[in-house]
């Protein structure tokens, strides 16, 4: 969902989360998550690694940006577009992502 339209009081489906559409909701379901509340406290890097293993493909690093946006929102931050997390992702995990190629 577009971050500007997210409402904390209406988090019933995975697609109610910021930056989550049907494809990302499907990724979360593939990883065993069925509701937004189940993602609270989950490490975004671990989600990314699990998705890469589950699909057998190294996912685009922007997927990690989306996971960051979701986990930060669930930790209490305001909803923000996923690309606002790109710099942080590059600082925190850039070396890991380069080695994993």
pLDDT digits (tens, 9 = 90+) for 17-44: 999 999 999 999 999 999 999 999 999 9
Count the neighbouring beta carbons within 10 Å of the beta carbon of residue 81.
Answer: 15
Mind listing the pLDDT tens digit for each residue in 36-75?
Answer: 999 999 999 999 999 999 999 999 999 999 999 999 999 9
Q: Which domain holds residue 12?
A: 3-99
User: Residue 98 pLDDT more than 80?
Assistant: no
Distance separating alpha carbons of residues 43 and 72, to the nearest angstrom: 10
CATH of the domain at 40: 1.10.150
Q: What is the total count of domains within the chain?
A: 1
Tell me what pLDDT residue 100 has: 67
Tell me what pLDDT residue 37 has: 95
pTM above 0.85, yes or no: yes
- Closest CA relative to residue 44, chosen from 12, 33, 16: 33
């Amino acid at each position: 969902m577009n971050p500007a339209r997210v409402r904390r009081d209406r988090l019933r489906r995975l697609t109610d989360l910021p930056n989550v559409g049907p494809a990302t909701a499907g990724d979360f379901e593939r990883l065993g998550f069925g509701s937004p509340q189940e993602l609270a406290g989950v490490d975004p890097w671990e989600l990314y690694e699990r998705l890469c293993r589950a699909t057998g493909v190294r996912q685009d690093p922007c997927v990690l940006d989306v996971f960051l946006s979701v986990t930060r929102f669930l930790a209490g931050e305001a909803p923000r577009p996923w690309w606002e997390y790109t710099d942080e992702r590059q600082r925190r995990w850039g070396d890991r992502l380069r080695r994993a190629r």
